[in-house]
Amino acid sequence: MFKELLENVRRKKPLIHAITNYVTVNDCANLLLACGASPIMADEIEEAEEIASLCSGLCVNIGTLNQNTIPSMFAAGKKANALGRPAVLDPVGAGASNLRTQTARRLLEEVKFTVIRGNISEIKALATGTGTTRGVDADVADTVTDETLDGAVSFAKKLSEKTGAIIAITGPIDIAADHSRAYCVRNGHPMMSKVTGTGCQLSALTAAYVAANPDRPLEASAAALCAMGLCGEIAFARMEEKDGNASYRNYLIDAVCRLRGEALDKGAKYEIR
Amino acid sequence: MFKELLENVRRKKPLIHAITNYVTVNDCANLLLACGASPIMADEIEEAEEIASLCSGLCVNIGTLNQNTIPSMFAAGKKANALGRPAVLDPVGAGASNLRTQTARRLLEEVKFTVIRGNISEIKALATGTGTTRGVDADVADTVTDETLDGAVSFAKKLSEKTGAIIAITGPIDIAADHSRAYCVRNGHPMMSKVTGTGCQLSALTAAYVAANPDRPLEASAAALCAMGLCGEIAFARMEEKDGNASYRNYLIDAVCRLRGEALDKGAKYEIR
Amino acid sequence: MFKELLENVRRKKPLIHAITNYVTVNDCANLLLACGASPIMADEIEEAEEIASLCSGLCVNIGTLNQNTIPSMFAAGKKANALGRPAVLDPVGAGASNLRTQTARRLLEEVKFTVIRGNISEIKALATGTGTTRGVDADVADTVTDETLDGAVSFAKKLSEKTGAIIAITGPIDIAADHSRAYCVRNGHPMMSKVTGTGCQLSALTAAYVAANPDRPLEASAAALCAMGLCGEIAFARMEEKDGNASYRNYLIDAVCRLRGEALDKGAKYEIR
């Protein structure tokens, strides 16, 4: 079922506008190329709307946000809305600083996002306005496990209802939910948390999937979650004795580059609640 | 014949000042180290002229340009001109936004560039002031192939005559032209377009080659084109079953690091028109 | 003896706030994850103090400094001081531009750094206010070798006495000195200078080591020097025929990821003067 969604990305080659942090931007660009999309990074206010107009999708990532780039996030988001193009929000570090939490919340008020993708602490901070995000990582107390899954699913569905966005929460179990249905995804590998920006990469990937499948944002978000997680598993299986997180980072993007629809359908591990 | 040009880079170890986008900056720095040059990235107006003065060559790349870095591009370019140091312009995304097109055109008016290196859509946008650049990729309709090569060569020679710069256009066939002669280069591999910033890397490499060979800018530009393309071929030959664009990216820089003059002369595929 | 220091990093997982250049920032983040720490990059003045408050250590790196990020360096540094958290200064390119030299010197006046880590030319520029730094590389005339080691050790001890910071100088022989004792470290490999930002990575690593071992800053700095150098050796031993500086860069971070306390104690090569 996800096969077609993946193949639409490869066939349509959506151009994705990313306003994203400078820590992981290169990996996001190569990830977009790996999945079959094309990236353009542009965060200057004088060109933000024009670049957004060119593109099939937008990814706004607030890591390393600053006073120059924040207005561009709003301008690009509003332009994408006006043109009916999907937009993804990655609230990196929401809950870690007031600037991040409030910027993410203001973005939600003024821009309609198709998908919001973050870890559970970031998404909670977005929902409540306060948080205990540990830098850019989830607070351990928040982690979604089998014990807490029901509550997390319910939280995600309610937040989706409130915001109108698909809520994609990543962690040991991932969730992609609209107001009534939640994909609970059990792909992925703990090694992914040893590489900076695997979350940022997933947000970019999600933007590509929803841009290529604009009428099916929930399925596209779930497919992106499964694809990224599955590639995390494939990458881990490839590791050799001397490999560490740097080689793993390459293997992960390589796996996205190699992934085909049949393999995604075969490897995707999810249930719908 | 290109052997000597490559060896001059390794022998002189030119220090290259790069004002470049934050997407591919790390690869540009490692590429410069790989070829034997040294990089320094500096885009703050308060130090742009001073850093330009220290260096043997300048590379101005307008990807992720912004209001803070644009003035530095002009200041560094003028200082390089005043000191007689070669300068390379990479008009990333010219044709994709008015800001990029106009900034690149104003740079051309106020700074004398030794080489302008871009894809055909970017170079056309620079020449005409409008364009159909697809983000940072060439418009398919513009692509230089055997059918359109004569026209592209003629266009490049005329633009070189008008600007006084070597015009280096990359695509399936690459061109490096002054007003009377054009190297048509058939090195390279399509996989290069699956890695973000191979064009940016080539512009940095070109800056190193012209800085180390200041009296032979056409030959140096052609040598850089052949070297980069040949390394793209070498990198592809090294790919194994599980490798994707991330491993290919490493193999490409590795190949530049390993490339010696004899191999460049042996592998360079070009004709002069 | 260094075993415990390394294990404290893995056990405490210190969150490190990095205000660092955009050239090597991704490698710094992955290096921090590799050693067991967690990175957060944040250089906007509106959140600099708040992020510094969250973290166990700060790393200020002035490469690609600009008018927006310089005030954040001061604010974060002062906040770290107020909270008694260790702070590391990497004066990248001090001596190459007046802005870098003076910013680094003003930082030293207004912020108490636990460790200052640079190449010999940068550290001399910091000490004297002028320099001959070749871009971001040490001037060859300055290099610390067996012939010049005594003078360099004496210089480092005096500068440590003056600044109150551990002085960590890297080159063919590395030095970590307080006012009375200097570790002279003979780990490392020349290949490290072919990868951009191995110095930046070391500064980030040093921040993690001193954050996890706040009562032993000299030993922690020396352990970080030995760890990074040893990993440079391990990475070189892993190189194969076609590998260049890009693969080496991965192997280096991989080695940090794999390094355990026993191996560090066994491989560390140093004497105390």
> What does the pLDDT look like over B39-56, one tens digit per residue?
999 999 999 999 999 999
* Average confidence (pLDDT) over A118-143: 86
Structure tokens at A27: 């990996």
pLDDT tier, B65 (very low <50, low <70, confident <90, very high otherwise): very high
**How far, in Å, CA of B205 to CA of B214, rounded?**
14
**Domain ranges within chain A, ordered by starting residue:** 2-272
Residue of A nearest to C25 (CA): A23
Structure tokens at C58: 């700060």
Position C55 scores a pLDDT of 98
pLDDT tier, B141 (very low <50, low <70, confident <90, very high otherwise): confident
- Residue/partner pairs of B158-161 with CB below 8 Å, 24 or more apart: B159/B116, B159/B123, B159/B126, B159/B127
Per-residue pLDDT tens digits for A11-58: 999 999 999 999 999 999 999 999 999 999 999 999 999 999 999 999
* Average confidence (pLDDT) over A183-209: 98
Identify any residues that bridge with A115 across adjacent strands, giving them in sequence order: A88, A166
User: Does residue B186 or residue B142 have the better pLDDT?
Assistant: B186
Position A144 scores a pLDDT of 87
Interface of C with B (CB under 8 A): 21-24, 26-27, 63-68, 93, 96-100, 134-137, 194-197, 242-247, 249-250
Position C139 scores a pLDDT of 76
| pTM score, whole prediction | 0.97
> C-alpha angle with apex A145: A141 to A150, nearest 5 degrees?
105
**How far, in Å, CA of C140 to CA of C126, rounded?**
17
Exposed e or buried b for every residue in B13-43, given b needs 16+ CB within 10 A? bbbbbbbbbbbbbbbbbbbbbbbbbbbbbbb
User: Does residue C14 or residue B135 have the better pLDDT?
Assistant: C14
Position C134 scores a pLDDT of 78
Q: Are B251 and C242 an interchain contact pair (Cβ–Cβ within 8 Å)?
A: yes
ipTM tops 0.90: yes
Architecture of the B2-272 domain: 3-Layer(aba) Sandwich (3.40)
Per-residue pLDDT tens digits for A142-177: 788 899 999 999 999 999 999 999 999 999 999 999
* Average confidence (pLDDT) over B93-98: 96
Interface of C with A (CB under 8 A): 15, 22, 25-26, 29-30, 33-34, 38-44, 46-47, 50-51, 54-55, 68, 238, 249-258
Position B12 scores a pLDDT of 98
**How far, in Å, CA of A44 to CA of B111, rounded?**
23
pLDDT tier, B143 (very low <50, low <70, confident <90, very high otherwise): confident
Average pLDDT, chain A: 96
**Which of the residues B64, B140, B241 would you substitute to probe the A interface, choosing the one with the greatest number of A C-beta atoms within 10 Å?**
B64
Position B9 scores a pLDDT of 98
Structure tokens at B52: 């330009």
Per-residue pLDDT tens digits for B226-260: 999 999 999 999 999 999 999 999 999 999 999 99
**How far, in Å, CA of B124 to CA of B134, rounded?**
13
User: Does residue B137 or residue C269 have the better pLDDT?
Assistant: C269
- The answer on pLDDT for B133 being more than 80 is no
Per-residue pLDDT tens digits for B161-170: 999 999 999 9
Structure tokens at B41: 């990235």
Per-residue pLDDT tens digits for B223-233: 999 999 999 99
* Least confident segment among B105-109, C117-121, C130-134: C130-134
Q: How far is CA A8 from CA A5, A31, A37, A55, A75, in A?
A: 5, 16, 10, 16, 28
Q: Is B41 helix (H, G, I), strand (E, B) or coil?
A: strand
